[in-house]
Amino acid sequence: MSCMFVRDDIPGLKQDLTVKTNLLNHDLILKTRWGVFSPRSIDDGTKLFMQYLDISKDDKCLDLGCGYGPIGLAVAKSCPNGEVHMVDKDFIAVELSNNNAKLNNISNAKAYLSDAFLSVNKNNYFDQILSNVPAKVGREQLSIILYDAYDSLKPGGKITFVTINGLRNFIKDNFKSVFGNYKKLKQGQKYTISQAIKE
């Protein structure tokens, strides 16, 4: 049996897409493809997130759930003396992130496969943990992530998440229970940026 509907655009759909953007005042060219998060353009949550990040030149940062790398790579350009670890559980995302690091001549960022913190240094290592948290992440998984994040941060380190507004109160309650503090950096129409500090 042959297919009823013949699509002649399949070869084109298999080609990588290109996103040209400016994040944290850095121009980036990013290759993406269908199947990764927001392949056509930088999503609104990430754009909002970028306006409220404060990165120091020596920071060691973790981009959790990096996708094709827009957050991690922009951050890496902002901490030239530091390093950025980008993790994702999707091997395509990891491959794209590493390719995009090369494409943009970024040598202080590396992507690797990890289901949340499974393959990540959990011993007071990072100055900042950043994530555009997927809307469909389960509450149990989020709780596990936050306890691991606490262990991974240096004292004084910051965790900053952008989430859909529907997760806002859950994040607030859990930041308070794990970190003992919570700060809302911004609440937009659809997204909230939340931060806690490891004291």
Q: What is the pTM of this model?
A: 0.93
Q: What pLDDT shows up at residue 136?
A: 82
Residue 5 lies in a domain: no
CATH of the domain at 26: 3.40.50.150
Q: What pLDDT shows up at residue 66?
A: 97
Q: Which domain holds residue 46?
A: 10-197
- Chain centroid to CA 65: how far? 5
Q: What pLDDT shows up at residue 1?
A: 53
Q: What pLDDT shows up at residue 2?
A: 56
Residue 35 lies in a domain: yes
Which ranges of 51-90 would DSSP assign to H, the alpha helix?
A: 70-78
Residue 116 lies in a domain: yes
Q: Which residues contact 48 (CB under 8 A, 6 or more apart)?
A: 162, 186, 188, 191, 193
- Chain centroid to CA 71: how far? 5
Q: Using alpha carbons only, how large is the chain's radius of gyration in Å?
A: 17
Q: Which residues contact 110 (CB under 8 A, 6 or more apart)?
A: 83, 84, 85, 86, 98, 101
Q: What pLDDT shows up at residue 6?
A: 72
Residue 46 lies in a domain: yes
Residues of the chain short of pLDDT 70, as ranges, are 1-5
Residue 1 lies in a domain: no
Q: What pLDDT shows up at residue 137?
A: 82
Q: How many domains does the chain have?
A: 1
Cα pseudo-dihedral 16, 24, 95, 33, rounded to 10: -20
Enter the DSSP assignment of 53.
-
Q: Which H or E run includes 61?
A: strand 60-64
* Positive or negative torsion for Cα 84, 53, 162, 40: negative
Residue 178 lies in a domain: yes
**DSSP, residue by residue, 167-184:** GHHHHHHHHHHHHS--EE
Residue 32 lies in a domain: yes
Residue 2 lies in a domain: no
